[in-house]
Structure 1
Amino acid sequence: MTETIKLPFYVKFTCILLILICIGGLSYIGSDVITPVLLAFLFTVLLLPLHSFFSVKLHFPTYLASFITVIIFVLCIAAILVFISYQVTDIANDFDIIKKNAISFFNNTQSFINEKFQISIWEQKKYIQKVTSDTVQNGSETIGTAIGSVSDVLLNSMLVVVFTFLFLLYKTHFILFLAKLFDKDDHAKLKDIITQIKISINNYILGLIFEMFVVSILTGLGLWIIGAKYFILLGLVTGILNMIPYIGIMIAGILTILSSLTGTPEVSMVVSILVVNIIVQLIDNNVLVPLIINSKVEINALVSIIGIIIGGAIAGISGMFLAIPLLAMLKIIFDRIESLEPWGYVMGNHMPKKFTWRIRKVKTEN
């Protein structure tokens, strides 16, 4: 009979920290490979019901069911991109109007700053020329970086599609691998972890997609009410970018303001757009996120923010997107392993009303 070795707390804590450091370092070094794999894994979980429909209900061979599932997924993404590109073409045709209104808006802003803050137009132009000269000097590097980023996105997109197909094709193979990796006594717990991870990730992604559509509709409706042009495209872009934590809505707001210059250079339109974005974000943060997102993954706000920051530092925007589902997976695993339950608890969204220390007194004998 094997005996369990009990280590002191400081040894356990040191081992956990070393493991976290190793995982973080490996994730940072291999982010170019790990990120597409994790994205493909999330999309695989999302596509499992469709794959099961073709393979179980229609009795398609596994490779054919996987191929058709991936093709449908790619066509849905392509349809959205085609619609966006078609709308962007219309905006590009109004470039001269945007340029004219942008200059008028810029002049009005300079006059406002001059009147309110007593900063002369000459001083403002001098500062802008200094910033512009610094930007021009780094222009070639910026263009090269942009071209490299586009090529990386295309390559990663292809890898995600390929990995998704392979995950669907070999999903049974991977499950059997995990079954062989653990003892038979742990198979029930392993099955429960896999099932809960599938349910949690599926619900989270579906909730995220639903949130995207609601934000798109609310933003598009608000822009239509204030008379903004291309309100359908701008609403859809805002909903998509809103899936990127923190910076997504800022980018969407800038694009919306620039697009509004096709109609008028008035400051009132810019203010109206900002009001629409603020109202939609208040609804999103206080109604949609707690109701749709937080109910699917029981991760508290502190852990979520820390995870998003770490994910962004490791893998950029993709890392920020992956942070929440990965944290949800870790919490599911921690909650079902006795020695890791405290870590699962600290990641959770539990709000105890009161806690009282229960200290056992030890009697000393004289």
Structure 2
Amino acid sequence: MREMPLTVRRSIELLGLILLGYILVLGKDLIMPVLMAFFISIMLLPVHNFFRRKKLPEALAIIFSILLLVIAVGLIVWFFSSQVSSLIADFPLIRKNVTAHLNSLSNWISEISNFSTQQQAKLLDQQANKLLNLGGNLLSGAAGSVSSTLIFIGLMPIYIYLILFYKNLLLRFVFLWFPEENHQKVREAMLETKVIIKSYLLGLLIQITYVTILLGGILLIIGIKHALLIAVIFAFLNLIPYVGALIGNLIGVLLTLSSSSEVWPIFAVLGTIAFVQFLDNNILMPRIVGSKVKINALAAILGVFLAGTLAGISGMFLSLPIIAILKVTFDRSAIFKHWGVLLGDELPPESPMDSPELRLQTEEIKEELEVKNDIKPTKR
């Protein structure tokens, strides 16, 4: 590969990226559950190893680990369901508040424009009919989505069990894929990948917990109705980098509007979310996750949208750990190091147009950039 002309190598790389995206689109129903199971399996490894140290057979150790995971997920679903039930119980009040807000909005539009209340009502009726027709067309697709989700959830424990059971076989396959002289680099890359995935996923679980407690607690003290539901929804949507926080803010505003006849709670909710986000992004999450690999914001945002386009919501959730793994792999490859630079956060202090040394792929320059950008260098 190294003896090929540079243009041929770059062409093969781009064609490989296109082929990889095409395979992901065609096989996302199979690939995404396996990827999710792979990440969860790595997170369950300490639990599995604990049961193995207690002299439990391999199969029982895996089953008990999965059972603990199922119990944890069940508790989260129960908590979320209880909050949704509380929201449904307040539906008459919600309908009253929504009507009041719509009337206020209608009067405001009438005051600043020539669009009368009757014209607004006619427009709403037309749009409502369109929405009903659209909803009818989407109902058949909804059943398919529910069934695919159930299949996704049902296959997950099976995939996790098999990945944990055959982990040694899979590791042997990875080593046999590479020549013997590269085995040490492969081992280091896999160990680092395991640390990154474990710290990232465990950090996300801790993040969900403290965001729910902080946000829900402050909103409860302020007196916002359905504070815990807003906190839970925002905490889970916040797992989707950048995009999730925006959607969480929007849902928080809508829930607040529907449960209150006043406007001030909206600013209270937005201010509280902004405060919790500041603590999360700048103080809590960096200390909890402590990842040695930093991804630049441009690569993260593009990765989230690209993964969402190719693989849906599950792709958006898994985008950052996948990018982190790719960066670790690229950094240790002599052929693909430039892709690691593209994904990384080692910002050059000067333009490579003016500094020829910044155009080179040397370990000394990489370490110098990591120090200047306060990035913990990866182990070599």
Counterpart residue number, 1:51: 48
CA contact (8 A) 1:204 1:297 kept: no
Give the counterpart of 1:39 among 33, 36, 39: 36
Query: Quick check: 1:65 aligned with 2:61?
Result: yes
CA–CA distance in 1 between the matches of 2:337 and 2:146?
Answer: 42
Q: Using the TM superposition, name which of 226-235 and 63-72 deviates more.
A: 226-235
Question: One-letter code of the match for 1:51?
Answer: H
RMSD between aligned residues: 2.3
Shift of residue 287, structure 1, vs aligned partner:
4.5
Task: Describe how 1:211-360 pairs up with structure 2 within 5 A.
Answer: 211-260=207-256, 263-288=259-284, 295-354=291-350, 355=352, 356-357=355-356
Question: One-letter code of the match for 1:352?
Answer: P
Question: One-letter code of the match for 2:21?
Answer: G
Counterpart residue number, 1:362: none
TM-score by length of 2: 0.86
Secondary structure (helix, strand or coil) at the match of 1:140 reads helix
CA–CA distance in 1 between the matches of 2:266 and 2:7?
Answer: 56
TM-score by length of 1: 0.89
Counterpart residue number, 2:4: 7
Q: How many residues align?
A: 355
Inter-CA distance 76–52: structure 2 relative to 1 (3 Å threshold): same
Inter-CA distance 251–344: structure 2 relative to 1 (3 Å threshold): closer
Shift of residue 164, structure 1, vs aligned partner:
1.0
Shift of residue 273, structure 1, vs aligned partner:
2.3
Question: One-letter code of the match for 1:303?
Answer: A
CA–CA distance in 2 between the matches of 1:291 and 1:78?
Answer: 28
Counterpart residue number, 1:363: none
CA–CA distance in 1 between the matches of 2:213 and 2:173?
Answer: 44
Question: One-letter code of the match for 2:344?
Answer: G
Structure 1 alignment gaps of length 5 or more:
360-366
Counterpart residue number, 2:377: none
Query: Quick check: 1:104 aligned with 2:103?
Result: no
Inter-CA distance 297–146: structure 2 relative to 1 (3 Å threshold): farther
Question: One-letter code of the match for 2:127?
Answer: V
Query: Quick check: 1:90 aligned with 2:86?
Result: yes
Counterpart residue number, 2:188: 192
CA–CA distance in 1 between the matches of 2:200 and 2:241?
Answer: 15
Query: Quick check: 1:24 aligned with 2:21?
Result: yes
CA–CA distance in 1 between the matches of 2:143 and 2:248?
Answer: 22
Percent of matched pairs sharing the same residue: 34
Structure 2 alignment gaps of length 5 or more:
359-380
Cα deviation, 1:115-170, whole Å, max 9, x if unaligned, reads 34553222322222221111111221222222222222111111222111111111
Secondary structure (helix, strand or coil) at the match of 1:60 reads coil
Question: One-letter code of the match for 2:9?
Answer: K
Inter-CA distance 293–142: structure 2 relative to 1 (3 Å threshold): farther
Question: One-letter code of the match for 1:301?
Answer: A
Inter-CA distance 118–249: structure 2 relative to 1 (3 Å threshold): farther
CA–CA distance in 2 between the matches of 1:294 and 1:14?
Answer: 36
CA–CA distance in 2 between the matches of 1:250 and 1:331?
Answer: 27
